[in-house]
Structures are given as C-alpha cells and as structure tokens.
Amino acid sequence: MPKTAFTNFSKEDNKLMKHIGEAPVVIKLLEGTQGLGVMLAETEKAAKSVIEAFESLKTRVILQEFIKEAGGADIRAFIVNGKVVGAMKRQGKEGEFRSNLHRGGEANIIKLSPAERSTALNAAKSMGLAIAGVDMLQSQRGPMVLEVNSSPGLEGIEKATGVDIAGKIIEYIEQSVAKKSLPKDKIKA
C-alpha cells in the first residue's frame, strides 16, 4: 500500500504529513465513490489547509502517498471465488491523476504480472471477500493496493475485458447455495 493515514480531528497535521512524506499528497473523503472527493494537494501547506477545512466540518479523510510513476493509471483486478476473472488498466484523461471511468478515464484489458495477480488475490483473501474488485497502482516498489471493493461495479470491467463477470458471480453463488443445500453425507470430497 502507499503510505496512508486517517485523520481523527487530532490537530496533529504535522505528524500525519511526516508519516506520508513529502507533498504532493492525495486526500480522500472516506465516503467518496467514483473519484468524487479525491484531491491532490501539491504542497504541504495546501494539504494542511484541506485537512483543516474537512476537520472543521467533522469530516474524516484519508491521506495517501502520491505515486507519481503510476502516471494517472491504476489496475482493477476482479476476483470471484479466489480467482482473477478479469483485469483492466484504467488511465485518467490527460492532466488528471484520477483514473476513474466516471471522471473520463479509459479502460483496457491487461494481463497481470505474477506479482500483481498474487497481490490482488492476497488482498481479497485478507479481507475475507469471495467477490472483490482490487485496485492497485504500478510502482517502482511493485504493485500497491489502493483499495479492496466489496461491491465493485461491473460495467467498465466487462466492457474492457469482454468477460461476463456477472455470469461468473452468479455461477459462484449457485455453486455455494448448492453445496450448502446438500446433506453432508452426499457431498463428495
């Protein structure tokens, strides 16, 4: 993960910035979706100002290290039942650091590296999720998990990959229900 910190109305902005490192820094609303509420503070002074503004509204935010080499792109790996069923690379429009499709980004199918595949699977597993969208950045330090989504959207990844991921989710649910409905003495190992 990129270095990450949560605000807690503590007025200790200096400690938060020291944990993250030098600006620029990404600031995210905890309740944001589709790239809304995600800002890039170019300087430490700007970051402190944004943090103070949100804290005055009693709104907690996440501060995150900016990974410049990602170049406004990220990867979404879609996991169903311990398998990557699709992956796309999202690229933000020119001049935009957010890669969200709802913010004008574009998506293309991508073949994950072994490290990216392993990172995505481990992230979903560590969260106890059989179905997840794992968002990662490509960095000089290897793949970095941005977030693990328990209810990721399907439209963008199905369009980019051509994979019927909704169908794969339904298959998984049907198999899970079938296993639970069989008497234990009828289940073959």
Who contacts 118 (Cβ-Cβ below 8 Å, separation ≥6)? none
Please report where in the chains the tokens 């503004």 appear, as a residue: 53
Are 112 and 98 a contacting pair, CB within 8 Å? no
Q: Rounded distance, CA 86 to CA 116, Å?
A: 12
Which residue segments constitute the domains of the chain, with CATH numbers given?
4-66 (3.30.1490.20), 69-180 (3.30.470.20)
Are 52 and 11 a contacting pair, CB within 8 Å? no
Are 66 and 104 a contacting pair, CB within 8 Å? no
User: In this structure, what token pair is assigned to residue 35?
Assistant: 């790239």
The residue type at 54? F
Q: Rounded distance, CA 119 to CA 79, Å?
A: 11
User: In this structure, what token pair is assigned to residue 55?
Assistant: 């804290």
Please report where in the chains the tokens 């311990």 appear, as a residue: 82
Who contacts 119 (Cβ-Cβ below 8 Å, separation ≥6)? 134, 136, 142, 143, 145
Who contacts 116 (Cβ-Cβ below 8 Å, separation ≥6)? 75, 77, 87, 136, 138, 143
| Helix, strand or coil, per DSSP, at residue 42 | coil
The pLDDT, as a whole number, for residue 164 is 96
The pLDDT, as a whole number, for residue 72 is 83
What stretches in the chain show pLDDT beneath 50? 189
Torsion angles phi and psi, residue 127, rounded to 5: -90, -5
Are 166 and 154 a contacting pair, CB within 8 Å? yes
Predicted TM-score of the model (pTM): 0.82
CA–CA distances in Å: residue 34 to residues 11, 19, 38, 183: 29, 26, 9, 43
